Amino acid sequence: MSEATSSIRSVAPQASQKASKGWSEQDKRLPLGKQLILQLVCLFITFTVLFPIMWIVSLSLDPRDIARPTEFRLIPPGASLDAYRRVLTQPTANPVTFVELALNQFKLAGGVALLAILVGILASYSFSRFEYRGRRALMFTVVTVLMLPAIATVAPLFVLLNRVNIEFGALSFNLRNSLWGVGIAIMASTLPFAIWNLKGYLDTVPRELEEAARIDGASPNQMFLRIILPLAAPALAVTGFLAFNTAWTEFVMSWQFLTNPKDFTLAMSLWNMVGPFSGDTPWSVFAAMALMVALPVTIVYLLLQKWIVGGLTIGSVK
């Protein structure tokens, strides 16, 4: 499932950091000819990696007011932020601004992430630090659920959430047709991931501190609050971010559940700009939108690398 992807991806930075330190001291000189050939290969790979990114940046900055590119350019002829301005005011045909869309997506992602780590850390503490009947069986069920892609439960969630009408004072809405419902649906697969991931981390935290605290008469609650919680901070940040990342680009549930444009999310709008409903959306606007959707999580991903390392490596990939 998608969470698994991100957890696996998050392992990456550590290895690369290790790598950049590892051999540099022992670097020997490479014969010039060989060096040049290898540089050519490296540059070619760099080109393939950067090609789509440069294409999309170039599209988004294109100053000519054209719907489709007419020629191949990786560097735009001049630069204009017009496309970004259009995205900010009204990215799709629906009467919503980018800020509204982003706010919806942020509520969704932030809510899911917070709840997932809050409930997840409690359960993972129980799984990691206690021995009781049914522990293994319960953990096994969590892992089994993890294996299932989120799409595989869209039908029952849709049907069940559709039955619930919320009447709360002046508020009255159908749970399915709301961000709350989408959040619940995302949570259904995010929470097992959070539990598994946090448990993997807690398993690697040495127990000496707790043993010492236990001898001093600390209760499980005190140990949780004073020892486990502070030690788990990096793992919480990472797990929270990965849950946030998943919900930030969640498409399947939102697309299936939501009908009111005021509730629409970034992911849905991005698809509206390039998919079968795109009409004649200029590609420069799509490109600007794609970059604006990707940038926040991509930057945080790159910034969190070090923490992602500490929090995740051990738990996720054996």
Partner 1 sequence: MATVSEPLPSQSGKKPSSAKEWWRRTSSNRAAYMYLIPAAIVMGLITFYPMLYQVWMSFTDYNVKNIRQDSPPPNPVGFQNYLDILPDKITVLGREIDIPGTGKLAAKIPNFSFTRVLAFNLVWTFLNVPIHVALGIMIALLLNTPGLWGKKIYRAIYVLPMVIPWLVIATIWRNMFDQDYGSINLFLSTIGGLFGIPAEVFRIRWMESITPPFQWLFPGMPLPLSFFAMMITNMWVGWPFMCIVATGALQSIPKDLYEAASIDGANGWQQFRSITGPLLRPAMIPAAMVGIIITFNLFNCIFFMSGGGPLRQTQILVTTAYDLVNAQRLYGSAAAFCVIIFLVLLGLTLFTNRITRATERYDV
- Binders of partner 1 in range 181-200 (CB under 8 A): 184-185, 187-189, 191-192, 195
Residues of span 277-296 touching partner 1 by CB under 8 A: 283, 286-287, 290, 293-294
Longest Cα pair distance anywhere in the chain, in angstroms?
Answer: 77
Structure tokens given for 149: 């892609």
**For partner 1, which residue of 40, 42, 81, 114 counts as binding (CB under 8 A)?**
42
Q: How far is the CB of 31 from partner 1 (least distance, A)?
A: 9
| Token pair listed for 147 | 């294996």
Quick check: 27 binds partner 1 (CB under 8 A)?
yes
Q: 54: closest CA among 275, 287, 272? A: 287
Binders of partner 1 among residues 70 to 99 (CB under 8 A) are: 70-72
Q: Which of residues 164-183 bind partner 1 (CB under 8 A)?
A: 165
Q: Using CB under 8 A, which residues numbered 48 to 67 contact partner 1?
A: 48-53, 55-56
Residues 100-159 within binding reach of partner 1 (CB under 8 A)? 115, 118-120, 122-123, 125-127, 129-130, 132, 135, 138, 141-142, 144-145, 147-149, 151-159
Stretch that binds partner 1, among 68-76, 78-86, 94-102, 229-237 (CB under 8 A): 68-76
The verdict on 252 binding partner 1 (CB under 8 A) reads yes
Please choose, out of 1-9, 87-95, 102-110, 230-238, the segment that lies near partner 1 by the rule CB under 8 A. 1-9
Could you give the angle at which helices 98-129 and 179-202 cross, rounded to 10 degrees?
40
Give the type of residue at 1: M
User: Least distance to partner 1 from the beta carbon of 89, Å?
Assistant: 21
Give CA–CA dist 76/234, Å, rounded. Answer: 41
**CB-neighbour burial class of residue 153 (10 A; exposed 0-12, middle 13-18, buried 19+):** middle
Residue closer to partner 1, measured from CB, 3 or 263? 3
Q: Which helix (H) or strand (E) holds 174?
A: strand 171-174
Q: Which is nearer to partner 1, 154 or 227 (CB)?
A: 154
Nearer to partner 1, 169 or 276 (CB): 276
The pairing of strands 171-174 and 165-168 is: antiparallel
Q: How far is the CB of 128 from partner 1 (least distance, A)?
A: 10
Helix axes 233-248, 2-22, angle to 10 degrees: 130
Q: Phi first, then psi: give them for residue 52, nearest 5 degrees.
A: -65, -35
Q: How many chain residues bind partner 1 (CB under 8 A)? A: 115
Question: In angstroms, what is the minimal distance from the CB of 125 to partner 1?
Answer: 5
Which whole-number Å values give the CA distances from 62 to 50, 279, 283, 291, in the listed order? Answer: 18, 20, 10, 14
Q: How far is the CB of 79 from partner 1 (least distance, A)?
A: 18
Q: Which is nearer to partner 1, 5 or 89 (CB)?
A: 5
Rg (CA), the chain: 24
Residue 171 is classified by DSSP as E
